[in-house]
Chains A and B, each alone.
Chain A
């Protein structure tokens, strides 16, 4: 067990961690942060996406012990002060169906828009290509992001 200190959704957290625990497990089981989901446990699906220092990563492929000193954001943090304009756009467009991929998809889109506020359709596809969704056919996701960036 090792004590780790990191920022989670703008709150400094310190917690004892075993080296064999993944970040996804620690977030969900030890810290009660449930929006990152497990959909494959091998980095293929993107449901476990979180932002570390602003970059989207697979929390199932990261050991929790690695994030000591980092800044981690999940959808809980993004929603803390009410829905972000991007989340509102997703809601207004009825984008998601089952919603299981939504946390990862929204974080990937958040990262993209921070780097590139006016992405092309292809930029959007590339940014969310690692988030598998079986319901929507992706087109509603892409359209909502495009529409959102045009409103800006």
Chain B
């Protein structure tokens, strides 16, 4: 293995000191001076209603109110993959709490007071709160205009229904596969909605100045995508891309919720109506729950056929997604799962139907794992049940079916190099899978559970990244990229990549969250792709800078470039050990020649990257023929749990997780992702639960009753394992792993609970209450 100086080392975070010192500033920490205006949102108290009229006259009379804006001011739709959203509701509201209007005032209190005075007249419509009702014959249409919406060419809505997108896989012959099976298991799994719960709210400040410049400061994962969507949506008001500037300071967590565009467009739009003033739109904890993206709910019907030895003969997976009121982003979650719902297995005969269904609940959208946590809950539960029926060890059945490099995915493209088998073996060994555990306390049951995972980035085929690298006088570097550090450590590993190529210590490389005017293009920080995609751009930029350095040395010192190399911030030569030239002596100032002139000039590297092998063009009836995903990251995990049989309370003794990240550019950050992701996964399976009433109103939009874990709820032990089977097209062999770490947790815990109690729970969350009541029911039956 190659010896690296910076890559593979646990460098300290480049933003670490800012964060531990309190210096790190987030959007709401920025100062905008005494002219700052505040907006308050008027929300609709219906999950589904026609919006007949809005009377803003009383609100406008409140002192300190500058403007009241409504949907009439912005009759534009927008969206990332399908334009089905509006800045404010137009003729109809589609979820409880949807934004109807906004009041802009000098003080938050004046805005709040005025917002209460906006009178809205509605005609309530029948509301649809679950996906199966939404697809019944004759169901009311939530988006009658569906067929007219602009969308990407790989989405397939069913006109005049609530099905916004239907992704189908047809591979091999499933009927034949089931006929050949020795055992077929069929069941339905339910996974409800979840909330991201980044601790920082969404926040946006926008200013449309008198020169026509629209600047938006936002807590966002997607500055360039925001610029693009703002410019496109506001084009009717004369806005062009180069008029829009998005600046993103530190972001207090995203997990998908701050991808694409949600509330930020409200700030951008209302700024247009109060030209010259900065205007702030702050979400609060409640709105974080009911008016940003939520993780989609799903009802998954799964049927798998196997031979006696456990090998899969056929798989049929029908997924009915509760995608909510607007699916401009959510439909791509549905699409991604449609392409990948065979899991990390070799499946010759597969049929998948993944339906994106409109409901009158808040908009679904991207959430760490992008649908994979949801479908793997059922699939990995199913694998255990099949193993149990056949009398095969759950680890062994997974080993036998695990997909290998070159074997075909559901859409017919070959699987990338991967360390799935190593991951399985390492986890089984670390958790002592074959060792039987028994409890001394008759009230405590002990069990073990296993799960595999996989996930590919879900992106448009032309999602791209770029980088500028500029040297400073002392050979320190400013690295300009537009990926976002959401906490995962992106900026640190970008610095490490440049450091490795250019021999400049990471501590001398400054790289910060972007400003779209200054930093080059990045699609978005989602899909666990930026280490790979933007990392490639940085790698290219660093090589570009290095080649410029070698050009200059070759030209001025007449040394053959193939003998040149960089070490310890110097150019050195393999054939002339005496030759050493400090980078700081020439990367800005150039090299002085004998005649006193200077050659060279500031060294500026550039790099851009696009995965040129991907395509979403395929047969819509089978999805065969394209190459929609760049690669999959895989891994395995296992848990040991103890369950209090009287209370149903699950205590996690140990979790082991192995992830194949190709190359761990910074092992400490990789381990941080593993531990944090596992905890988020534990939270979704054991504690979190969104509750809605019959009106579609969320009942627990707060941390008092939507429980995310505390330090007292951590497992006794988490063992992270790094597997490194290089990704051939990744920077130093790396591939993404940030989202993946939470994906196996829910099925693994469900499997452990079944192992301990003989109790199979097929719906999430698996709260203490659910376990306990199921146990009581089971005892009664006896």
Q: Does A102 contact B (CB under 8 A)?
A: yes
Residues of B within 8 A of A129 (CB): 710-712
| B-facing residues in A124-144 (Cβ within 8 Å) | 124-126, 128-142
Given contact pairs A91-B12, A99-B20, A132-B708, enumerate 11 new A-B contacts (beta carbons under 8 Å).
Answer: A37-B26, A75-B22, A79-B21, A97-B253, A98-B486, A100-B199, A100-B252, A100-B253, A131-B711, A138-B711, A139-B675
Q: Does B669 contact A (CB under 8 A)?
A: yes
Is B487 part of the contact surface with A, judged by Cβ < 8 Å?
A: yes
Chain B contacts with A in 676-716, Cβ cutoff 8 A: 676-680, 702-704, 708-712, 714
- The answer to whether B21 and A83 have CB atoms under 8 Å apart is yes
| 22 interchain pairs, CB-CB under 8 A | A37-B29, A37-B199, A74-B22, A83-B21, A87-B20, A91-B13, A94-B12, A94-B668, A97-B487, A97-B489, A100-B198, A100-B252, A103-B22, A125-B711, A129-B710, A132-B710, A137-B679, A137-B714, A138-B710, A139-B675, A139-B718, A140-B672
Closest to A90 in B: B20
B9: min CB distance to chain A, Å: 12
Most buried by A among B201, B285, B668, B672: B672
Contacts of B758 in A (CB 8 A): none
User: What is the CA–CA distance of A41 and B709 in the complex, to the nearest angstrom?
Assistant: 18
- B487–A139 touching, CB < 8 Å: no
Among A99, A124, A131, contact of B24 (Cβ-Cβ < 8 Å):
A99
Q: Is the CB of B669 within 8 A of A76?
A: no
Chain A positions 38-62 with a Cβ under 8 Å from a chain B Cβ? 38-42, 44-45, 47
| B28 within 8 Å of A (CB atoms) | yes
Give the complex CA separation of A41 and B189 in angstroms.
36
B488 touches A87 (CB 8 A): no
* Residues 708 to 746 of chain B near chain A (Cβ within 8 Å): 708-712, 714, 718
Interface size class of A (residues with CB under 8 A): 35 or more
List of B residues within 8 angstroms of A74 by Cβ? 22
Q: A37-B200, A42-B704, A76-B22 are in contact. Are A98 and B285 (CB under 8 A)?
A: no
Cβ of A99 to closest chain B Cβ, rounded Å = 3
Interface residues of A (CB under 8 A from B): 28, 32, 34-35, 37-42, 44-45, 47, 74-76, 78-79, 83, 87-88, 90-103, 106, 124-126, 128-142
Q: Is the CB of B487 within 8 A of A96?
A: yes
Closest chain A residue to B680, Cβ basis: A134
| CB contact under 8 A between A91 and B20, given known A41-B284, A124-B711, A135-B487 | yes
Q: Which residues of B have CB within 8 Å of A34?
A: 22, 25, 29
Neighbouring A residues of B17 by C-beta, 8 Å = 83, 91
Distance between Cα atoms of A136 and B198 in the complex (Å): 12
B683 nearest in chain A by CB position: A134
**Closest-CB distance, B32 to chain A (whole angstroms):** 12
B258-287 contacts to A, CB under 8 A, are 284-285
A136→B675 contact, CB < 8 A: yes
Known contacts A34-B25, A97-B488, A141-B711, A91 near B16 by CB under 8 Å: yes
Judge whether B566 is part of the interface by a CB distance below 8 angstroms: no
Is A35 touching B672 in the complex (CB atoms < 8 A)? no
Q: In the complex, which of the residues B20, B22, B714 contacts A139, with contact meaning CB atoms closer than 8 Å?
A: B714
Say whether A94 contacts B703, CB under 8 Å: no
Task: Kindly provide the distance from the CB of A85 to the nearest chain B CB, expressed in whole angstroms.
Answer: 11
Contacts of A87 in B (CB 8 A): 20-21
Per the bound structure, the CA–CA distance linking A39 and B680 in Å amounts to: 18
For the complex, count residues of B whose C-beta is within 8 A of A: 55
Closest to A33 in B: B22
Q: How far is the CA of A135 from the CA of B489 in the complex (A)?
A: 11
In the complex, what distance in Å separates the CA atom of A62 from the CA atom of B23? 24
When A and B form their complex, which 9 residue pairs have the shortest distance between CB atoms, in order from nearest? A97-B487, A100-B252, A137-B679, A99-B19, A75-B22, A98-B487, A35-B22, A44-B703, A34-B29
Q: Is B250 an interface residue (CB 8 A)?
A: yes
Contact with A along B14-41 (1 / 0, CB 8 A): 0111111111111011010000000000
Residues in B whose Cβ lies below 8 Å from that of A37: 26, 28-29, 199-200, 252
Q: Is B255 in contact with chain A by the CB < 8 A criterion? A: yes
Q: With a CB–CB cut-off of 8 A, which chain A residues contact B24?
A: 99, 102
Nearest CB of chain A from residue B659's CB, rounded to whole Å:
15
- A38 — which chain B residues lie within 8 A by C-beta? 28, 201
A94 near B672 with CB under 8 A, answer yes
Q: In whole angstroms, what is the CA distance A96 to B675 when docked?
A: 12
Residue B251 is within 8 A (CB to CB) of chain A in the complex:
yes
Q: In the docked arrangement, what's the CA distance between A132 and B709, Å?
A: 7
Residue in chain B with minimal CB distance to A103? B22
Q: Is the CB of A138 within 8 A of B679?
A: yes
Please measure, in the bound complex, the distance between the C-alpha atom of A90 and the C-alpha atom of B668, giving whole angstroms.
13
Residue among A103, A136, A139 with the most chain B CB within 10 A? Answer: A139
Cβ of A55 to closest chain B Cβ, rounded Å = 19
A39, B17: Cα distance in complex, Å? 22
| Given known A83-B20, A137-B675, A142-B714, contact A41–B285 (CB-CB < 8 A) | yes
Q: Please, which residues of chain A bring their CB within 8 A of the CB of B233? A: none
Is A94 touching B489 in the complex (CB atoms < 8 A)? Answer: yes
Q: Determine the residue in chain B with the shortest Cβ distance to A130.
A: B710
A residues in contact with B250, CB < 8 Å: 98-100
